[in-house]
Amino acid sequence: MKSLELKDRIEAQAYDSYGQSFYELHEKEQFVTVGNAVMEYLVPKWIESKKKFSQQKQAYYFSAEFLMGRALSNNLTNLEIEKNVKETLEEMGVNYNILEEAEDDAGLGNGGLGRLAACFLDSGATLDYPMSGYGILYQYGIFKQNFVNGFQVEEADPWLDYENPWLVKNSNDTVIVEFSEADKVEAVPYDMPIVGYGGNTINTLRLWSANAIEKFDFQAFDEGKYIDSVKAQNEAETISRILYPNDSTDEGKQLRLKQQYFFTSASLQDLMRKYKEAGHKSFDDFSKLHSIQLNDTHPALAIPELIRLLEQEGVEFEKAFDITQKTMAFTNHTLLAEALEVWNKDLFLSVLPNLYPYIEEINGRLVSELKEWKVDESKWDKFLIIQNNSIHMAFMSIYASRAVNGVAAIHTDLLKTDVIREWHGIFPNRIVNKTNGITQRRWLLQSNPQLSAMITDLLGSREWITDLSLLKDLEEKYTDDAVLGRFIDIKKEKKQELADYIQFHEEIDIDPESIFDIQIKRLHEYKRQLMMAFYIADLYNRIKADPDGQWTKRTFIFGAKAAPGYYMAKAIIKFINELADRVNADPEVNGIIKVVFVENYGVSYAEKLFPAADVSEQISTAGKEASGTGNMKFMLNGAVTVGTMDGANVEIVEEAGRENNYIFGMEVEEVEAKRGNYDPEIPLQETEGLAAVVESLTDGTYHDNGTGMFQDIYDSLTGGDEYFVLEDFADYRETQDRISHDYRDSKAFYKKGYVNMANAGKFSSDRTLAEYAEEIWHISKFQ
């Protein structure tokens, strides 16, 4: 794109959209204008892309969440017009960084699961695979987090209040979703372009927005009932109003069920309509042209819905089931029993009375197979979709899918040997592993241009941007200390950038010479943010006892949102904020350690945090974290992991070497052995420093403003310590102390980080996506 042409486009767009000169607009409007100009450039390529794939089998990623973050820089990078656009804007007197920050994050997800969906879309388009995403256009994404007196306070995220340049409304493809005869809405699709790196393929993320069929009741209005006149529209819009902010536990709300049905039904109708329009006379070829991936059970209603829609087209049940099973594949994301979705049958019937009979039909088919397989009736509770007045979404998804996958090797093994071992016994080939990944375009190229430039220099090519396995060659490029010196300088620079950002946003001064030790992820007891907080509280006590001792400077950084209804998670946030206040305000200590809890952690904040980390905290109770992807982002940016043998940590140390990371704590088997014969009093009394820290929860050292929250944390630890915070603390403390010791030899320490970066190739979502494409979806790249 020529610079002059771009300038003209931007200026013209400003007049078109706002009737004003571009230079008169405020930042958000300038962002929208530039976005519109980029769209004008990419739309013809997008149309080309749609055409080229129209004849081949496609993959459809169904997900209730797509945690996309910002799109401007990503689109510019992937279209390879970043330099040009930035230069042009500079000539026009516009600060690109301000413009970039003016874009609201598309926060249509909670955490890892939603971000994975976003990374997959990026990889799919980059690898030239025909792949579309289907989801919901939430009017409000994940809430904004504020801290008030150290407590989390949620605020709505009206990310669509400004015009969004990336969304194209496609009213022609509107469909009707019928919950029941009396309850129907319109589903209106908005399409977002997914630009692959290099710009050869632009795929589509289609997000549905709910609308009333009768938007305005004129009669009611005429009778003076103004509220009634828009009631239907309000009720309909509620369906796509808000993303459920709970991570992994089942919200169990009627509205949530409606959302799930809303987007899966709309998406399937969309696919069937296009299929018929392409001239197919029967549905015999449907599964040969469509692979649908169910991202967890949130879209699992696609199973009975596809059967229902096929039966409506005259396909009999057995055939419809067969087509459905060949079309669907299912990803399991959790080992937490409480997170497996189960719907109360009566609630389900009240919302989706017409869909329920199809679930019964599927369950009936399963029952006859259970008899055929001679499964003892006493074991049917491990299989039945409908039992005890409830509907088991995971069982339905396993039964009616072609493939079921876990998201890291250890997770998949646990699925096979524990969580769903009975299913594994019946279908020994159905459960497969697809270890998660992250896109290096966003998590390195864009967020860490300095390290990217170094990698390109060392490797002598930019090929790693689309083939991350090439990073392995960085090991042999490590010929002298100059290489490490540059790596360390870049880390320092990123730490300084983060320090400036934190100074501005959190008003806390942190020292880039200190170790940056970072834990950023959703707040959950199993992730054990509390254990890291206890280490800090203990370290504080130790420094106070010996202020002139040989301490290594360290900055502890947290970022995490707690589900609004998750009491213990909110209590832990309050505790960490109190701890931070105490540490940061103590002049005897605050030159050695600092604690920062960044407000409103999300994708854009993450892009600043990962590149600046020295230490990556991945300290979940073994057997609880399915994979993690934050761990991979840290690794790729050259941090070392302090972590348990859980999720993808296992594969991270397999790739980069245990000696280059800090592994500690009980492993899965030990956790299992401990459960049931665990007395938290023992580690509490036997671990140096621990009792003082735990007691400080309730002895007046830390204040919870009279809420009783800290007492509740105390009680949960002493009354069972479900996540073994106390049991693992001794080993964690010793390991953390070792990090402080090792950091004194900074070359040796950063060499470990360098080796981690060089061995991060496996964790590209390009690798993951290619595995899905070849082994589950059977789709091919555009030839």
Ligand X SMILES: *Cc1c(COP(=O)(O)O)cnc(C)c1O
Residue entry with tokens 């945690």: 67
Counting contacts by CB under 6 A, is residue 606 touching ligand X? yes
Q: Give the DSSP H/E element, type plus range, for residue 663.
A: strand 662-663
Nearer to ligand X, 265 or 600 (CB): 600
Region near ligand X per CB under 6 A, out of 79-87, 108-116, 259-267, 581-589: 108-116
Catalytic choice (522, 524, 570, 574): 522
Four-CA torsion 667, 672, 674, 676, nearest 10 degrees: 160
Nearer to ligand X, 77 or 447 (CB): 447
Nearer to ligand X, 598 or 668 (CB): 598
DSSP H helices in 25-81: 27-52, 72-79
Nearer to ligand X, 196 or 628 (CB): 628
DSSP letter, residue 561: P
Report the site for ligand X in 630-659 (rule: CB under 6 A): 630, 633
SS3 category, 225: coil
User: Contact at 8 Å (CB) between 116 and 633?
Assistant: no
Give how many residues touch ligand X by CB under 6 A: 12
User: Contact at 8 Å (CB) between 204 and 292?
Assistant: no
CA distance 578 to 698: 13
CB of 28 to ligand X, least distance (A): 22
Q: Whose CA is closest to 739, among 664, 687, 652? A: 664
Region near ligand X per CB under 6 A, out of 56-64, 495-503, 571-579, 599-607: 599-607
Q: Whose CA is closest to 141, among 191, 97, 100, 105? A: 105
With both helix axes pointing from N to C terminus, report the angle between 254-277 and 302-312 in degrees, rounded to the nearest 10. 40
Examine the residue annotation and report whether 522 is marked as an active-site residue of this protein. yes
Which one among 304, 602, 611, 680 touches ligand X, defined by CB under 6 A?
Answer: 602
CB of 587 to ligand X, least distance (A): 34
Backbone angles phi, psi at 64, to 5 degrees: -70, -10
Region near ligand X per CB under 6 A, out of 107-115, 237-245, 329-337, 420-428: 107-115
Give 294's contacts (C-beta < 8 A, 6+ positions apart): 62, 300, 302, 328, 329, 330, 331, 397, 401
Counting contacts by CB under 6 A, is residue 112 touching ligand X? yes
CA distance 142 to 121: 20
Examine the residue annotation and report whether 527 is marked as an active-site residue of this protein. yes
DSSP state letters, 278-300: TT-SSSTTHHHHEEEEEESSTTT
CB of 245 to ligand X, least distance (A): 13
Catalytic choice (392, 434, 495, 521): 521
Report the site for ligand X in 113-132 (rule: CB under 6 A): 115
CB of 105 to ligand X, least distance (A): 9
Examine the residue annotation and report whether 412 is marked as an active-site residue of this protein. no
CB of 739 to ligand X, least distance (A): 19
Examine the residue annotation and report whether 633 is marked as an active-site residue of this protein. yes
Examine the residue annotation and report whether 52 is marked as an active-site residue of this protein. no
Examine the residue annotation and report whether 629 is marked as an active-site residue of this protein. yes
Catalytic choice (126, 629, 644, 687): 629
CA distance 99 to 88: 13
Nearer to ligand X, 474 or 626 (CB): 626
Region near ligand X per CB under 6 A, out of 23-31, 336-344, 479-487, 628-636: 628-636
State which residue has the least CB distance to ligand X: 630
Which one among 441, 521, 574, 582 touches ligand X, defined by CB under 6 A?
Answer: 521
Counting contacts by CB under 6 A, is residue 78 touching ligand X? no
Give 676's contacts (C-beta < 8 A, 6+ positions apart): none
Which one among 239, 515, 603, 642 touches ligand X, defined by CB under 6 A?
Answer: 603
**Around Cβ 281, how many Cβ atoms within 10 Å?**
7
Can you give the binding site for ligand X, defined by CB under 6 A?
111-112, 115, 521-522, 602-603, 606, 628-630, 633
The catalytic site residues sit at: 333, 521-522, 527, 629, 633
